Amino acid sequence: MKYNIPRGTFDILPEDSYKWQFLQDSFRKFAICFGYQEITTPIFEVSELFERSSGESSDVVQKEMYRFCDKKGREFALRPEGTAPVVRSYVENNLDKLSKRSKLFYLGPMFRYDRPQAGRYRQFYQYGIEFIGSNNPYYDAEVIAISMLWLNSLGLNKLRLEINSVGCPDCAVLYDKALQEYYRPFLGKLCPDCQNRFNTNPRRLLDCKVPSCIELRDDAPSQLNYLDEPCEKHFEAVCNYLQAMKIKYIINPRIVRGLDYYTNTAFEIVYEGLGAQNSLAGGGRYNGLIEQIGGKSVPAIGFAGGFERLLIALEEEKINYAEKPKPDAYLVCLGENVRLEVLTYLNDLRIKGLIVDYDPDKNSMKAQFKAADASGAKYAIIIGEDELANKTINLKNLQTGEQIRVAMNAEDTKQRIRAKI
């Protein structure tokens, strides 16, 4: 019996895992520099959390959630996104008591039952930021800046930042009415999903990917014409902050984002080379969400991006963002007695943080040097009977061919290798 990986998922094989580690570490460091702290929540939550937060009519809840019951019949879902779990944790752990502002980031897999294609998977890995605790438009700009500047720092420049304001719930009511008025004469031409959306959530009509619906969207009214004064001011201030940060953006009034909880700022980072799945990251403000899932009324803003599409973009631009780690040294041992006696030294080297390759199945000097070359090791540490008797080693720089005899002392070896002696 041979088993296959589930459709829409993939293995990260050893030869690629360094890229993932690099991206995770890099995002972590970046977020920490902006004052954010990591939060890790479970991979599954009660389904209702997502029904309440994303909205019953959202595609995520309607079609894409992996749902299951546990042995006691409780309904859970594999998390389709990271914001609702973080907000659940914020409320449950009273994080507002620790500090008025919670600056959080997360990394981890998300799950959506969607039609797999390039850049779209059923399990995908997201990185994200959630800022909770202020409606100051500076934070909208800060969160957008993190998402954009991190991608720039990796070497990606062909990015387009698109921003919009979806207003507050009061603006949304007016806008929904305007959209219904606009779409009513075309109801028969809309796809079946959009015919539903017309009643349940007209703004979703703007998000539809069906070509005939996209065509109708062109002349639809713009959300920006339905903002009240405070929402208009908020949006203007976000734009001003972005300009002050020299972050280029375009205003795209068609950005509505797929989930119900967004208010005011909504944004997306688009990479043109990605075809249909061209959104690298997206987010927005969600001032009503925390109250909606049982917390106090606290304003917040966040974003999430996906590593899979990011990796595709980085490969496409041929950006050399991460180097495959190579061993610092390869241990060449000559003689059975040596092999046994040398083990504490070998362990010490590894404990001190050197990457040391060693293969007890290779016996001849020739075979061991061949393996050292193949491994890409920078140094060979050569130990025979004579060296062992004198507690010394031969340290050979495999690039220059230079070789020196020094004490068999793990700290000394480490310092020499680090100093490239």
In angstroms, the CA 369 to CA 332 distance is 7
Which neighbouring-strand residues pair with 330? 357, 380
Residues 263-302 vs ligand AMP: string with x where CB under 6 A? Answer: ----------------xxxx--------------------
| Binds ligand AMP by CB under 6 A, chosen from 52, 112, 203, 234 | 112
- Shortest Å distance, C-beta 124 to ligand AMP: 3
In angstroms, the CA 285 to CA 231 distance is 12
CB burial of residue 289 (10 Å; 0-12, 13-18, 19+): buried
Q: Does 121 bind ligand AMP (CB under 6 A)?
A: yes
Asked if 50 and 61 touch (Cβ cutoff 8 Å), the reply is yes
- Shortest Å distance, C-beta 339 to ligand AMP: 48
Nearest residue relative to ligand AMP (C-beta): 306
Residues 205-244 vs ligand AMP: string with x where CB under 6 A? Answer: ----------------------------------------
- Shortest Å distance, C-beta 280 to ligand AMP: 5
* Residue 109 identity (one-letter amino acid): P
In the complex with ligand AMP, which residue's Cβ is closer, 151 or 332? 151
How long is the chain? 421
Concatenate the DSSP letters of all residues of 367-389 into one string.
HHHHHHHHHT-SEEEEE-HHHHH
In the complex with ligand AMP, which residue's Cβ is closer, 59 or 387? 59
Q: Does 23 bind ligand AMP (CB under 6 A)?
A: no
Q: Does 109 bind ligand AMP (CB under 6 A)?
A: no
DSSP state, residue 325? P
- Shortest Å distance, C-beta 146 to ligand AMP: 14
DSSP state, residue 323? P
What is the number of helices (H) and of strands (E) in the chain?
A: 17, 16
In the complex with ligand AMP, which residue's Cβ is closer, 284 or 368? 284
Residues 161-200 vs ligand AMP: string with x where CB under 6 A? Answer: ----------------------------------------
| Binds ligand AMP by CB under 6 A, chosen from 53, 148, 305, 388 | 305
Stretch of 111-119, 178-186, 385-393, 397-405 lying at the interface with ligand AMP (CB under 6 A): 111-119
How many residues bind ligand AMP (CB under 6 A)? The answer is 18
Q: Does 304 bind ligand AMP (CB under 6 A)?
A: yes
Q: Does 348 bind ligand AMP (CB under 6 A)?
A: no
Q: How many CA atoms lie within 13 A of 68 on its CB side?
A: 9
* Residue 317 identity (one-letter amino acid): E
Q: Does 254 bind ligand AMP (CB under 6 A)?
A: no
In the complex with ligand AMP, which residue's Cβ is closer, 80 or 288? 80
Asked if 257 and 269 touch (Cβ cutoff 8 Å), the reply is no
Q: Does 151 bind ligand AMP (CB under 6 A)?
A: no
**Angle (CA) 194 303 292, round 5°:** 70
For 23, the token pair is 């991206």
In angstroms, the CA 393 to CA 66 distance is 57
Sign of CA dihedral 126, 131, 132, 136: negative
Tokens 């919670």 sit at which residue? 102
In angstroms, the CA 64 to CA 46 distance is 15
In the complex with ligand AMP, which residue's Cβ is closer, 122 or 378? 122
Residues 69-88 vs ligand AMP: string with x where CB under 6 A? Answer: ------------x-------
- Shortest Å distance, C-beta 63 to ligand AMP: 12
Asked if 41 and 106 touch (Cβ cutoff 8 Å), the reply is yes
Binding site for ligand AMP (CB under 6 A): 81, 112, 114, 119-121, 124, 126, 258, 279-282, 304-306, 308-309
